[in-house]
Structures are given as structure tokens and as C-alpha cells.
Structure 1
């Protein structure tokens, strides 16, 4: 783009820049966005391929995110950590034409005011994203024989084996009495939602391990069993803090490779309490 507009100065944010219109220089505003999936399709359609299509096609709404480090907030007073210093500024953008199209571009029609997302809001967003991604990956492994199982194993490992070094332990402060004393009613609701997401992650991980074990001819036994052992430790820690979590696997299904080899059934559907 810069070669198409020689001499233009790059502006790579959505910050207010109307003052630049008074300059004689040329400016080119380019910033990264991600498509926003219409929630109506998530509710109406359960077919994975159709959902994928509408996540990547006929898109008119996008989101721009920018991270910020803030100190001296009520969150850093609770705990001065990277999690508590990290804020995200989000802005949505709407375009006139659905993308992608023949021209691969469209005029911006509207954009929202900046939304400042606190560390608590980002914790909820991150948990929801991880849960959705893991469940989707497990369904892909079970329904698509040619799909590699390696990304799913890496995703599981990133959750259950990160717990010792951090992971959701970083969110423990949100459930403390000190934190409760400074929360607004809306933030109390976010904490309740975060608690539900953390509990829901346990049966989702179990389902992912079941899907991972279904590829017994592709999966290293030692690696898989290390994931299972880490999962049980992870589950015990979650149940200690948030209460017992019931298994969502159908009867007779196992997350262990040795038992999977004799089990020809596959869990094609999976639901967790939302």
C-alpha cells in the first residue's frame, strides 16, 4: 500500500487523527482488525463448516484491539502483576460492502467509541475464547479423519500443564474478598461468569482428551498419558476451589489410550452448562 501511495506517512492506530487533515503531507491509515462473527449464526446453525463460512465470508463488522499497560488502578492495588496491568482498548468498525468481495475493500461507514476492557473483562474474554477453541478443535478431530491431532494436543498441554506456572491461577485474585470489596455490580456479574467458564473448562478438557485418545495410531502414549495426569491434577485444583465438576462424556467412553483402542464409539455431540 505504501508503494501505491509514495511519500505517504503510515498511521497504524484508530486514535483520533482528524488534525492530520490540516497538514499538507499525505497519510495512509492502516490498522489490523479481526472479523466479528454474527452471533445469530452461532445460535441458528450447529454445522461446523457453515459456521466457519460465515466467520470468514460476508463479513461487515470488524474489531480493532490495542493493548495498554496501566499502573495505579484498583486492579494493580489488589495485585501488581502483568495480568492486572494489562488493559485492552477495543473499537468496532462497520463497512458498506460485505467482505471479501471482488475488490477486497469497502468504505468504512461507522466505527464505535473506544471500549476500555479491564483485566477482569479480558480474563472472561480469554476463558471464553479458549473454551470455544478447544471444543471446536475436538469436534474437528472426531469428525475429520485427515485433520492433524497435533494442534489439539498442544492446546490441551497449554492449558493443563500451564496451571503449575500460571494459567488460571492468575485469576485467583478475582475471587478474593479484597477484590469483592472494590467491584461494581457489573463486575460482580463478570466474576460469576468467569467462575462458570473455569468450571466448564474441565469437562471440555475431558472431551478434548477423549478426542485426542481417539487417534491412538497417531498419538504418543507417553505424551497422552502425561496430559491425562496433568488433567486430573488440574481438575482437582479446580474442584477444590469451585466445587465438584461432573463428567460430560457418554457412559463407556474413556480418556485413556488403552481403553480407547477397544471403544469404537465416538462422542459426536457435547454440551456443557453455560
Structure 2
């Protein structure tokens, strides 16, 4: 069974890498994709590659070699980068929502508002927020004393499984982590909802149904990714009693670590004519060469 799961997850991981690197390549290579929307999408693809790579290769190694050990320092680094890239991904969904808000609600001011300096700031912000946000819980966990048995009931070093190994009272740290998780996840989600409230209001003011459908189609892929990503994150980290062991947690973790990253490029590319056109040109160029 582990070998079958290994081949399944390896295929999904390789497909994830190929799809996201293809998006990054298209944005860098194709001139008409040199726009704020696609620059942010390329950054989003990069953070998803890193987010997946933090956990999946170690899991695949454990499935194939049966070597399920991990050094404590590697475990702590895995937790830090997983949390950092996850926070950055959440923030990128916010800035991408803001980009769609400006494009639809203030189209005449788009070039003035989304300047090169502004776009660079929007692209760098999620990276900075992610690395800073993850530092506090990671540093706190590094100070804890852990007891035997040193068995992590998970396929990667997540927050709750690590706390179960601690010999100390972790209530204050759990409260701090809950505050960070609630603030970041719900804060980002509410900002996206505010953006879409203005977007939907602007779309409804468009006089023709064709115009409304065209405007909404530019946001549908982003909104789909937001609902999938935030749905799983809210279930895992900010539900009541999230520290209690549930077997379902592992299934949900597999979903947002393995399944969602391979779905997102398909959601963005299959609904985007410009990306599909850039891909067609790239394939034609390679075939001609």
C-alpha cells in the first residue's frame, strides 16, 4: 500500500512542479503577460512550489525507504518554512484579490495605482509577512523540552503533533499561536471578502449580461482557489479544539499539501485565455525550433 501511495503522490508532486514552473516560465517569456496580475500569479506559483516541497519529498522518502526518522533541527525547520510559505500564500491571495478589485472597480486608474513600485511592494509583502509571522511560534517551539516516545503522529512536523510531545505546559504558547492563526487567516479572508463585495457591486452595475459574465470570469479562478485554500486552513488551524487528535486531520493535510497545489495551476490556466495563448505560442516556438 505504501508503494502505491508513493507512486500516486510522486506523480502529483511532479505534476505540481511542472505546472507551476510552466506558469513562471510563461510569465517570464511571454511579453503580453508582463502585467501585475501575472507577476503576482508567478510569485504565487513559486510560493506553492516551496510550500509543497517543504513536506512532500520527506513524506515520499519515508514511503519508499521506510526511514521515517527526522532530526529535531530538520523538524523545526520544516515547521518554520511550512508555516512561513503557508502564510505567504494566504497573503498572496489577498494582494491578487486587490489587483482584481482595482482592475474591475477602478479600471481607468489601474495603471496609475498598479505602478511598478506598487506591484513590487505587493509581491514582496507576503514573503516578508510569512517569514516574520512564522518566526514567533518556531522560536517558542525550539525552547520546549520533548519527552519520549518521540513519535510524531503525522506525516510532517505540524504544530499540534509537536505540542503533544512536549513535557511542559504549552497553554500560553497555544493561545499565542491561536491568536496568530486567527488574525492571519481570518484577516486575509475578510480582506478578500471586502474586495469581492466591491467587485460584485461593480459587476452588477454593468448594463449587459455579456459584460457581467466577462468581468466575473476574470475573478472566478481566484475566488475558487481562495475558497478551497481557506476552507482547509480554517478547518485545520482555527476551529475549536484544533489541538485534539483527529484522524481526519491527516486527510485534510494531504488535501492542502498535495492535492490543492496540483489543482491551482489547472484552475488558473484552464479559465485564462491569455495564459492558454501564451502556452500555445511557446509550444509552437519549440516545435518550430
Please classify the TM superposition score into its range, dividing by the shorter chain length: 0.3 to 0.5
* TM-score normalised by structure 1 residue count: 0.37
Which TM-score applies when normalising by structure 2? 0.35
Higher helix share: 2
Which one scores higher on RCO, CA 8 angstroms, separation ≥ 6? 2
Higher alpha-carbon Rg: 1
